[in-house]
Amino acid sequence: MKKISLRLACLFLVAAMSVRGDQTETAPRSPLITIATSHWSLSLRAGADGRLYQQPVGTPPAAGNLKRNDEFYPQAGDGYVWEPALQVVHADGNTSTALLYEGLSQTNESADVTGTRIRLHDPAYPFNVTLCFRAHAAEDVVEQWVEIRHQESRAVTLQRMASTALLFGNNLYLTHFFGDWAKEMLSPITEKLTPGTKVLDSKLGVRADQFSNPSFILSLNGRSTETSGQVLAGSLAWSGSYQCEFDDNGGGIRALCGVNPFASAYHLPPGQVFTTPRMIWVWSGQGLGDMSRKLHHWARDFGLRDGHKTRDVLLNNWEATGFDFDFNRIAGLFAPARAIGTEIFLLDDGWFGNAHPRVNDHAGLGDWQPNRQRLPDGLAPLAAAAAKEDLRFGIWMEPEMVNPASDLFAQHPDWVIRQPKRDLELQRNQLVLDLTRPAVQAFEWQSIKNILSVPGISFAKWDCNRYLTQPGSGWLATDRQSHLWIDYVTALYALMDKTAKKFPDTELMLCSGGGGRVDYGALPHFHEFWPSDNTDPTLRVPMQWDYSYFFPCMAISSHVTHWGNRPLHFACSVAMSARFGMDLDLNKLPATDRDICAGAIAAYKQIRDVTQLGDLYRLENPHDTYRGALDFVSPDRSRAVVFAFQLQAGAPLPVRPQGLDPLKHYTIHELNPAPGRAALPDEGRTVSGEVLMRDGLVPSCANAVEASVIELGS
Ligand code: GLA
């Protein structure tokens, strides 16, 4: 019975196809499937050949036959000759796959969210693919992922398994972000895609980014601006090696994004489901600003933890003390921390290790017991001392890592990721534990539980300071070594998920030697991320601008430090525009600087509901001009905050805020003005939103490294 239907399906497939030129075509067949949000829809249609086709994004519906080039999720080996979304070796060694449309189901998950599942099957094999979507109407966000399953006699090998393979028309601009340690996201590049392939990827295994970021923007029909243009931004929710490939074959451009196929062949046993990472797409017909605001709305609901709760002001000791501290030095920071108004203290690296004390970055990782010399009674007394000063207490950890100089490594040298017969390659003197090994999973979970269960701890920074360079697992079988990349990240997410569930009231910061892990794969378990070790505010202005395309400012940690030796007023103002924190030795700060910090914190507490929960308008791009400017508007548009950051000397031209209610009246007030500077020309004036947006307001800054933070209240 099964054999007959398979043969019929194959005959049907051949009969329904006709070949014109060098491209197979087929007649369209109902139904038209739409994945729709308020302002965007993805239109798919099964062809008479049974395959699934897509109307390229940004192009009008085509009359006539469907072209093979436009297949929605193309498969390798059976007629499709460009970059495939799926490439499989079946159990019998056949390297071709054909996917035919079988049916779909759509469900309303809420008033705003529609889930769609499209089932496809291979007519020659018990091999099934489900294309999954979650469309968020108001936010114009579509989450897309793929589930692959089969009932073949043995494992099939997945060689490519993209999360998405959207097709576009020809006139497409790509904006992507290159960087490196301390320069994350700092070099946005916009280029017109041309025939050939453009690949953004990483092969780092345990972090998505060191050089290239898995978030990008596609602008249709020309370059977009903050307020104009059709844009589709994409962000791959994956913290491991990824690939985003833009394949322009002259007939259209395909964006294929997913786990990096590099060295990652995955043997999928019968009966198991392989689920790809989610791709997050967001659409706007009104430029980059609207796109970001919608993505931020989505992120507050689905992309990060407690997205509707304001964050406390944090003081970190890393830049202040480095590894050089003990109980007294840290406890001595609490009273001044309270005096200037901070609300959480984060104890960074260096608190653990006894036989191999963590007094520098050469030793101790893996031995998560408090150092008895520095903290004779452990962490709890420090947390209690912080609580006495009304400060919450947080802790740094790097649970995935080990130094060779540690008890852990001495006991379990086989637990690390390494290649046999090769000299161990260290980065920052450390190795990555093999999280595919159940004993390592249990160890890391126990370490996390021990640390976060210390009474008084309600915040943690989860770091990851190296990537994989010798990707071998002593746990995985020799013919399963290529699973390491994917199984590591899957196990990592399980650990992060357990942590978030077991410690629901503990806020988590995602960090990876700076900004190596900034993605919506890990972020749903975290409250914020550390974007870069570089805290020079003149670089943070453009860096935070770039991150804000994809992530709400409440999630972008921004600390005041001495990096770059900039005036503290400028540094505070920059940090206030994101998730505000400090990393200064308050005991060494001159009184005038302490007052500036205290003034900034007090001001920030008045406006943080607007900057963290309001809508962001990017006004002046610091990459283009001598100044950067932003404003945030409260959800009811009754209040706004304008930030102007002067990077170089330049004319004090007015900054024109956006997003205000034209009919409302706003009173202008500069917050925490820099000492010695003249008051704003408009200080205290009450002006309508319409006039403010039309004429703007002149900030108090005009020289390099000056800033103005202006509240508009009504
Ligand atoms: C990484 C982080 C820093 C700090 C150090 C501690 O580099 O990015 O913020 O926590 O580790 O070793």
Q: Respond yes or no: is residue 463 known to be catalytic.
A: yes
Report CA torsion sign: 413, 418, 423, 424.
negative
How high is the pLDDT of residue 5? 41
pLDDT less than 50: residues of the chain? 1-21
Taking the CB of residue 648, how many other CB atoms lie within 10 A of it?
Answer: 11
How high is the pLDDT of residue 1? 33
Give the active site residue among 301, 326, 361, 533: 533
DSSP states along 486-528: HHHHHHHHHHHHHHHHH-TTSEEEE-BTTBS--STTTGGG-SE
How many A from CA of 262 to the centre of ligand 1?
29
Give the active site residue among 247, 463, 536, 682: 463
pLDDT tens sequence across 516-571: 999 999 999 999 999 999 999 999 999 999 999 999 999 999 999 999 999 999 99
Contact by Cβ (8 Å): 313, 291: no
Q: Respond yes or no: is residue 377 known to be catalytic.
A: no
Residues with Cβ < 8 Å from 3, sequence gap 6 or more? Answer: none
For residue 433, the 8-state DSSP code is B
| Any atom of ligand 1 within 6 Å of the Cβ of 513 | yes
Bond before 699 cis per omega within 30 degrees: no
Residues with Cβ < 8 Å from 423, sequence gap 6 or more? Answer: none
| Any atom of ligand 1 within 6 Å of the Cβ of 563 | no
How high is the pLDDT of residue 30? 64
| Any atom of ligand 1 within 6 Å of the Cβ of 394 | no
Taking the CB of residue 662, how many other CB atoms lie within 10 A of it?
Answer: 12
Contact by Cβ (8 Å): 556, 299: no
How high is the pLDDT of residue 20? 39
CA distances (Å), 467 to each of 83, 98, 306, 399, 410, in order? 28, 37, 29, 14, 22
Contact by Cβ (8 Å): 348, 318: yes
How high is the pLDDT of residue 9? 42
CA dihedral 312, 313, 319, 323 (to 10 degrees): -50
Is 5 exposed, middle or buried (CB count within 10 Å of its CB: 0-12, 13-18, 19+)?
Answer: exposed
**d(C-alpha 619, C-alpha 57), whole Å:** 28
How high is the pLDDT of residue 167? 98
**d(C-alpha 308, C-alpha 437), whole Å:** 37
> Residue type for 125, please?
Y
pLDDT tens sequence across 220-268: 989 999 999 999 999 999 999 999 999 999 889 999 999 999 999 999 9
CA distances (Å), 556 to each of 347, 559, 687, in order? 19, 10, 32
Q: Which H or E run contains 230?
A: strand 230-237
How high is the pLDDT of residue 28? 83
CA distances (Å), 136 to each of 44, 108, 286, 301, in order? 18, 10, 18, 11
Instruction: Please give the structure tokens belonging to residue 362.
Output: 């050469």
Taking the CA of residue 396 as reference, the ligand 1 atom at the shortest distance is 10
**d(C-alpha 331, C-alpha 276), whole Å:** 46
| Any atom of ligand 1 within 6 Å of the Cβ of 40 | no
Nearest CA to ligand 1 atom 1: 513
Helix residue ranges, H only, 405-471:
407-411, 438-452
| Any atom of ligand 1 within 6 Å of the Cβ of 143 | no
How many A from CA of 512 to the centre of ligand 1?
8
User: How big is the chain by its Cα radius of gyration, in Å?
Assistant: 27
How many A from CA of 355 to the centre of ligand 1?
22
Nearest CA to ligand 1 atom 2: 513
How high is the pLDDT of residue 22? 59
| Any atom of ligand 1 within 6 Å of the Cβ of 463 | yes
How high is the pLDDT of residue 459? 98
How many A from CA of 514 to the centre of ligand 1?
7
